[in-house]
Chains A and B, each alone.
Chain A
Amino acid sequence: MLKKLSETPSQTAGPFLHIGCTPAAIDINVFRYEIGLAPFGDISFDDVINIKGRIFDGNNEPVLDAMIETWQCDSNGNYFGYQGFARKATDFETGEYFIKTIKPDSNNDNKGSQISSYISFWIVARGMNRPLITRMYFDKKGLENNKIFKGFNIKKRLNTLLPQTKDNKNFIFDIHLQGKKETIFFEF
């Protein structure tokens, strides 16, 4: 059998990730356009959902220099192309991120079992040597019955994967890096 090559290790994105990833936000106008600004292009008003939130560090301070990328399927459960990808830096003053997208449908795991709908979150920042990966689920029941979580002792923390739901279009999803409310993060 061929020897596998070793994967290149991760390093922190550092505090200046905006230069390469969201340059227009700091007035560097080099690229034709930035990626991840509108995950499904122009969405009709009826379909729009808004997600906002902050990332809190171990001192419960909002992280002001993080970048979040999200990846999700569409309203039919399909992942494709560049659609479904969003990228947002957290606000330099408030730490808030804001994503305007559509609600994904449930989709299947790679064995064909259904998984209730969620959006994948990928987070980098200064102080993070590796990205952190989590998910925002929409449905409490579906999350509790989700068999990918069977066998883990995380019942008390499962609600960290759920947003505060203001109405069926507006969600607040805060992420806690440490502490009593520490968010569940994933590895694969």
Chain B
Amino acid sequence: MINKYQPKRNFPDYKSSIIRSPREEPLMIKLTNSEITGPMFKKEILNNSDNDLTINFSKNSEKPLGQEIFVHGFVKDENGNGLKDILIEIWQANAGGKYRHRNDTNEVSLDKNFGGCGRFITSLDGYYIFKTIEPGAYPYPNRGIEWRPKHIHFSIFGSMFLQRLVTQMYFEGDPLIKFCPMVNSIPDVNARKLLIGKLDLSKTENEKILGYRFDIILRGKDQSYFENKIEGL
């Protein structure tokens, strides 16, 4: 029994999923209090610049290299209601496709003005916004060397732990998306499209920054993993 709208855990085209996925079926149990509650975070944990990756790491107000972009949208439940006070964390590679991380062995330079992490807590209507630079695509070992499409990693806390989501936003028009085994681990083609940030020319600053719109929909209590239906795309 599989859910077409979520990635398969064991997807051999993505090699490391083979030894890191269970072989037994998950135990499908009824919701209890530990799923319908969840940690909530207050805006006091944030600095003002946490959601601006073009300045939050730079020591001397120099800007990182790369095309500046806004990434914005709404976090909603399955009924379309915006979810307030939702903590979103993002991380990404720099414009050359290099992460500020001890385990990134790609032979590309770090950008001294770019850390690569941001966070934000949604406003009353579920809105969020980040300012950052467009990340580079990067090679990684899989079946030989393959390329990840440009992407930003997202971690979202819902209003219940059941809604906890980690995902990635891809960029509209990126020709690498269709080759990516992580994207293709999602059986349903329309569900894959939900991960694509759409170019949004209406979101700009002095017409100098490109915008991308990425809405995030969190599951509801009434859905369950095995019955999750996709409609109205």
Are B6 and A9 neighbours in the complex by a CB distance under 8 Å? yes
Provide the main secondary structure of the chain A interface: loop
Are A69 and B164 neighbours in the complex by a CB distance under 8 Å? yes
Are B33 and A109 neighbours in the complex by a CB distance under 8 Å? yes
- Judge if A84 is at the interface, Cβ distance under 8 Å: yes
Residues of A near any B CB (own CB < 8 A): 2-21, 23, 26, 28, 30-33, 35-36, 57-59, 63, 65, 69, 71-73, 79-85, 92, 107-110, 115, 118, 120, 122, 124-133, 135, 148-149, 152, 154, 157, 177-178, 182-188
Question: Known contacts A6-B230, A35-B45; is A131 also within 8 Å of B166 by CB?
Answer: yes
Are A19 and B166 neighbours in the complex by a CB distance under 8 Å? no
| A to B CB contacts below 8 Å, 23 in the list | A7-B219, A8-B216, A8-B218, A9-B191, A9-B192, A12-B168, A12-B182, A16-B91, A19-B92, A19-B100, A21-B89, A71-B39, A79-B33, A82-B41, A83-B39, A108-B33, A110-B32, A130-B6, A132-B22, A177-B19, A177-B21, A177-B22, A178-B21
Are B56 and A30 neighbours in the complex by a CB distance under 8 Å? yes
Which one, A18, A129, A148, contacts B11 given CB within 8 A? Answer: A129
Ranked nearest first, the 6 interchain pairs of A and B with the lowest CB-CB distance are: A20-B91, A127-B16, A58-B19, A127-B20, A129-B7, A85-B39
Which one, A6, A109, A157, A186, contacts B26 given CB within 8 A? Answer: A186
Are B20 and A20 neighbours in the complex by a CB distance under 8 Å? no
CB distance from A118 to the nearest CB of B (A): 8
Are A6 and B231 neighbours in the complex by a CB distance under 8 Å? yes
- Beta-carbon contacts of B191-233 to A below 8 Å, as 1s and 0s? 1101100000000000000000000111110011110111111
**In the complex, number of A-B residue pairs with CB atoms less than 8 Å apart:** 271
Measured between beta carbons, the chain B residues less than 8 angstroms from A5 are 76-80, 217, 232
Which one, A7, A82, A124, A178, contacts B166 given CB within 8 A? Answer: A124
Which one, A9, A80, A154, A185, contacts B37 given CB within 8 A? Answer: A80
CB distance from B91 to the nearest CB of A (A): 3
Question: Known contacts A20-B90, A28-B100, A129-B17; is A7 also within 8 Å of B78 by CB?
Answer: yes
- Could you tell me the distance between the alpha carbons of A79 and B36 in the complex, rounded to whole angstroms? 10
Question: Known contacts A7-B217, A127-B14; is A186 also within 8 Å of B29 by CB?
Answer: yes
CB distance from B4 to the nearest CB of A (A): 10
Question: Known contacts A12-B182, A84-B39, A85-B39; is A182 also within 8 Å of B20 by CB?
Answer: no
- Beta-carbon contacts of B20-59 to A below 8 Å, as 1s and 0s? 1111101111111111111111100111001000001100
Measured between beta carbons, the chain A residues less than 8 angstroms from B116 are 19-20, 28
- A17-B153, A58-B19, A82-B40 are known contacts; what are 10 more A-B pairs with Cβ within 8 Å? A2-B80, A6-B5, A8-B216, A9-B192, A17-B91, A28-B57, A71-B37, A127-B18, A128-B17, A187-B26
Closest to B183 in A: A11
Question: Known contacts A19-B99, A59-B19; is A11 also within 8 Å of B28 by CB?
Answer: no
Are A182 and B24 neighbours in the complex by a CB distance under 8 Å? yes
Are A16 and B217 neighbours in the complex by a CB distance under 8 Å? no
- Could you tell me the distance between the alpha carbons of A81 and B161 in the complex, rounded to whole angstroms? 12
Question: Known contacts A5-B79, A31-B47; is A188 also within 8 Å of B153 by CB?
Answer: no
Are A154 and B79 neighbours in the complex by a CB distance under 8 Å? no
Measured between beta carbons, the chain A residues less than 8 angstroms from B42 are 82
Are B33 and A73 neighbours in the complex by a CB distance under 8 Å? yes
CB distance from B22 to the nearest CB of A (A): 6
CB distance from A112 to the nearest CB of B (A): 10
Measured between beta carbons, the chain B residues less than 8 angstroms from A135 are 34
- Judge if B143 is at the interface, Cβ distance under 8 Å: no
Within 8 A of A (CB), among B116-141: 116-119
